[in-house]
Structure 1
Amino acid sequence: MKRRLLVAAGVAAALTGVAACGSDSSDDNKSETKPGNTAPAAGNGKTVRVWLMKGTAPDDYIAAFKAKFEADHPGAKLDVQIQQWNGIGQKVTGALASNDAPDVIEAGNTQIAQYGASGGLKDLSSKVTELGGKDWLTGLSEPGKVDGKTYGIPFYAANRVVVYNKELFAKAGVTPPKTRAEWLETTKKLNSGDQQGIYLPGQNWYFYSGLLKDEGADLATKAGSSWKANLDGAPAVAASAFYKELQALGKGPKDSDEKTQPEVVAADGGKIAQFIAVPGEAETVIKANPALKDKFGFFPIPGKDASKPGAVLTGGSDLMIPEAAKNQDLAYDVIKQFNSDEWQTKLAQAIKFLPNKTTLSSALASDPGGMAMGEGAKNGFATPNSPNWASVEENNPIKAYLTKVMTGGDAAAAGKEANASIEKTLNTKN
């Protein structure tokens, strides 16, 4: 996640043994049983460089964070450098291979496997317990691991929800559904005349991957040393059939993704009953069409049954420490402060994205979109944890597969074609 969601939705990461981050292994074990008992690393006139991505945190948050860190580490200076998403992969790869890497780097969660496989990241596995890893969102913590070692510490998360027009729902006499079957029936009632029951482009592969997960399959799985894609089996056929039925209850294009969705919904003037998006996209729509102010509500993507919401692909960012970082002990203290409940809560409330722990679900209690997102995140998951997954997304055969299904093609045949492309990329040796 690429801009903030795909934002690295997609976007974030993972990190081991941190003798170099301030203590020996026995000290690590003691600190893990009593989180927060490790004394701050000494400042000693050092400058700690931190790369944060553009849009991650507002200036006042960064300023307050910097003031707190420097007060806790007399003599240290915190230099937060804002990076652009465009071209960041090459820039990070170069930094990891250099002798002058920043001390902390933020990365999208889908990028961590690639960076971890390069051998240029510090293994932070021994710090997971101290940082409260048992409560991390799965969709962020799993991508942070490579071969069982943790290189990326979850920073923040986001996932898609259903944004709905409260007025149109009220006029139709319907309420937010809890199951897929209810969702279809609700959407049929909302789909009348020039009103769309839902605006759903045919290539929203993020949404599709959640449907596939609910049917019991992942986009791709690893067996031994090889990857196998799963778009041709019964789970994929069932997932694409539901997608096709739902998509037909609106006028969304079958051959494009959701990039132009905010503009379409804004221009519609209030005749689109639902769309699938990160909650913040509703604000983008309202800015383009102020007449829609106060008309939107949010609910988690419905699941197959009412026991839990539908599975959602979790995007976001992780924090990592390069092996070449000169101040690894101070770098870990930066990550520890970012990971604390206080600073996680402040960040969530500032950017309206999810904190990294399930125990902080109340951070967005006053934000309906955030609450819906948090409920969905309980059933979150990540993209296949391969260094080559970013290359799959670049050419994304899943989009072509979905368009073929939406336009009447055979789902199993289209799935086999997509599988071949995905497997070729994932099984390419770097």
Structure 2
Amino acid sequence: MQRRVRTRTIAALSALGLTGVLGGCGAGGDSSDVTLTLVAADYGTGEADSSEKYWADLVERYETDHPGVRIDVSVYSWNDVDRKVKEMVDAGDPPDMAQIGAYADYAAEGRLYRAGDLLSIPVQADFLSQLSAAGEVNSVQYGMPFAASTRVLFYNKDLFAEAGLTPPKTWDELAANAEALAARGVTYPYALPLGPEEAQAETMQWLLSGDGGYTDLAGTYGIDSTENVETFSWLRDELVGKGLTGPVAPGKLDRAKAFEAFAAGDVGMLNGHPSLMEMAEKKGVEFGMVPTPGADGASPATLGVADWMMAFKENGHRDQVGDFLDFVYSEENVLDFSREYDLLPVTGSASRTMAASERDKDLKPFLDQLPTSELYPVGNTSWAAVNAAVKKQIGKAVAPGGSPAGVLGTLQATATRAESAE
């Protein structure tokens, strides 16, 4: 789904009055009569809260004070946005900016501006350190974090109370709870979304909970490690194989549909990020949140996710892009976006404000986890190919008769080939 945000007036330089200190100062050409294009992902759940509205408001405020540069924003669903940007790049017509899920392949091809050539020093320095590091390729930052989240286990308090259950701390307790919920007719005792929308997230959360992951401590892919195979074998045998994951095959269940089912009261447990809180509250679902269970206790690591802003060099406009992004990353705008979509701020200033704010207290469990969370290996240019392969294939690992070792081995082979092509 595409939505377009077309500005009604004109916008331009010096949004924060920092033109003189921009890293890219002096190399963008005349600031007048320039149109900047931005392709962005939709974080909303429908027309009422589409990201189109966030960008329309932000662009209008930027325009009001700065005549000269037009901002043209196109908003696509997460199912389409990465593919759309790739199509534009392949056609030789990349946007000036893209806010999507991965940046490293474009950086490796030399297509992106360095963050330091765009942002003012205070803005770049305000990014949370682990997110800045995750935005680097060969120790140079190209990816600018735009939104972040962590994961916890959500559970339906009413369904748990009716079944006399307590929140699980281990896999075995989770499976036992799921069996009790299934016996009471709960549609999705545990929702396992391994469909193509966001399978890489559910997959990594489970791998981490089994003391594994996509990569080892040295950053080398180990997708078919013994720990990972054991994790997916357990999922296949103890949850999916016993009918505890609901009527939709995990490989066909998208995260958005799983969240909708939870908000409808049809899910006993699932891994969720902060935006699920508001969805559930709006539908009157009483929920609890606990750390993700692990094989023998709480998961040793938590999934952290960051989405990325990047700027392509193809069209020039370095100064204008940098100035607009300084505005995008102001504390006010970062907080507005984070609060609108129940996500975590990517900057220190906004994070400190949120941590101290009573209105944001529900996000504190997620905020507390972010500094020590583990992110996807987004700095590897191979990650885009691995990510796409996980989304397409991982559901087969838990299907009836599926082979976790075979599927994970195929994914490892994909990662090896992708790294060899770097």
TM-score > 0.5, shorter chain as reference = yes
Q: Is the 8 A contact 1:352 1:370 kept in 2?
A: yes
| Pairing of 1:176-325 with structure 2 (within 5 A) | 176-177=167-168, 180=171, 183-195=174-186, 196-201=188-193, 204-220=199-215, 229-244=221-236, 245-247=238-240, 248=242, 250-252=244-246, 253-254=248-249, 256-259=251-254, 262=257, 266=261, 270-278=265-273, 280=275, 293-299=283-289, 301-304=291-294, 310-316=301-307, 318-325=308-315
What is the one-letter code of the residue matched to 1:119? Answer: G
Structure-2 separation of matches of 1:80 and 1:275: 37
Q: CA deviation at 1:331?
A: 1.6
Q: CA deviation at 1:212?
A: 2.1
Partner of 1:340: 330
Taking structure 1 as reference, are residues 152 and 322 closer, same or farther at Cα in structure 2, changes over 3 Å only?
same
Q: Is the 8 A contact 1:300 1:310 kept in 2?
A: no
Q: Is the 8 A contact 2:193 2:255 kept in 1?
A: no
Provide the aligned length of Structure 1 versus Structure 2.
383
Q: Is the 8 A contact 1:157 1:354 kept in 2?
A: yes
1:205-258 deviations in whole A, cap 9, x for unaligned?
4222123234454324698xxx96423323213432453434447143556242
Q: Is the 8 A contact 2:148 2:346 kept in 1?
A: yes
| Among 402, 419, 429, the residue aligned to 2:412 | 419
1:355 aligns with 2:351: no
1:119 aligns with 2:115: no
Partner of 1:35: none
Q: CA deviation at 1:307?
A: 7.4
- Structure 2, gaps ≥5 residues long: 4-17, 44-49
Secondary structure of 2:325's counterpart equals: helix
Taking structure 1 as reference, are residues 137 and 174 closer, same or farther at Cα in structure 2, changes over 3 Å only?
farther
- Structure 1, gaps ≥5 residues long: 5-20, 32-37, 287-291
1:55 aligns with 2:55: no
Structure-1 separation of matches of 2:324 and 2:212: 37
Structure-2 separation of matches of 1:233 and 1:395: 17
Taking structure 1 as reference, are residues 377 and 175 closer, same or farther at Cα in structure 2, changes over 3 Å only?
farther
Taking structure 1 as reference, are residues 134 and 216 closer, same or farther at Cα in structure 2, changes over 3 Å only?
farther
TM-score normalized with structure 1 length: 0.70
Q: Is the 8 A contact 2:223 2:412 kept in 1?
A: yes
What is the one-letter code of the residue matched to 2:98? Answer: E
Structure-2 separation of matches of 1:264 and 1:347: 20
Percent identity, please. Answer: 20
Taking structure 1 as reference, are residues 306 and 342 closer, same or farther at Cα in structure 2, changes over 3 Å only?
farther
What is the one-letter code of the residue matched to 1:385? Answer: G
| Among 127, 135, 141, the residue aligned to 1:150 | 141
Partner of 2:379: 385
| Among 161, 166, 181, the residue aligned to 1:170 | 161
Partner of 1:88: 84
Taking structure 1 as reference, are residues 415 and 61 closer, same or farther at Cα in structure 2, changes over 3 Å only?
closer
Q: CA deviation at 1:392?
A: 3.2
What is the one-letter code of the residue matched to 1:51? Answer: L
Structure-2 separation of matches of 1:269 and 1:69: 39
Secondary structure of 2:251's counterpart equals: coil
Structure-2 separation of matches of 1:64 and 1:120: 29
TM-score normalized with structure 2 length: 0.71
Taking structure 1 as reference, are residues 311 and 194 closer, same or farther at Cα in structure 2, changes over 3 Å only?
same
Q: CA deviation at 1:117?
A: 1.5
Secondary structure of 1:276's counterpart equals: strand
Q: Is the 8 A contact 1:254 1:407 kept in 2?
A: no
Partner of 1:289: none
Structure-2 separation of matches of 1:260 and 1:356: 23
